[in-house]
Amino acid sequence: MVSKAMTRPEDEIIPWLPTSLRRRLKAFRETEDFKKRDNKIPTAAELFEEIHTRKKGNEKVFCDKRAKSVWDEYQRLKLNASHSGVEVNDDALFLQAAGGVNSKGLVYGLGNQTQAYYERVGPSTQSSPSTPIAYAPSMYAQIVSRLQKSEEQLNATREELTRTKEEVKQTKDAIARIESRFGSSSS
């Protein structure tokens, strides 16, 4: 229920929420962390960092050596990609840093959230752990591209239909003129 309260306007009074929680909610909404949120889905790396770090003073500390190692590798890959000038998908870099997908179809550090970021491609996803992984939003981009092509084809078909209707109308008008000439001259 508190998540519902988070979606309501800041100044709205939420009667079912106890006063103490309402005050805490208001204070939370005023923090910098909350203001930074813009309702976007975090990247796989951002999710990993949020899950695997805790604040110790003013700095974030990773929960274990493996998490720190994955993060360092991700940062290294990201730095190399930025220096090369080639635009690389951030989630693809994280997938590489995390060591890919394990035999259970999960990426280290993401657990069951793996499916939110990566999708298996191929006929058999469970039997073959070596099935290539594709970034889910790239599938989305392909779908959008296909949809745009379909819309373009639909618009072209509509234009063709409009031209055909106009030709039919002109033909009907011509036939009507011919009939009126012959019809009026024969009477």
Query: Can you tell me the distance from the alpha carbon of 5 to that of 12, in angstroms, rounded to the nearest whole number?
Result: 9
Query: Can you tell me the distance from the alpha carbon of 120 to that of 172, in angstroms, rounded to the nearest whole number?
Result: 57
**How is residue 162 written in tokens?**
């409009």
Structure-token match 């394990």, residue found? 102
pLDDT at 35 over 80: no
**pLDDT per residue as tens digits for the range 107-166:** 888 887 787 777 754 334 444 444 445 555 555 666 777 888 888 899 999 999 999 999
**pLDDT per residue as tens digits for the range 65-94:** 999 999 999 999 999 888 887 777 888 889
Helix runs in 62-135, H state only: 65-84, 90-97, 114-117
**CA 113 to mean position of chain CA atoms:** 14
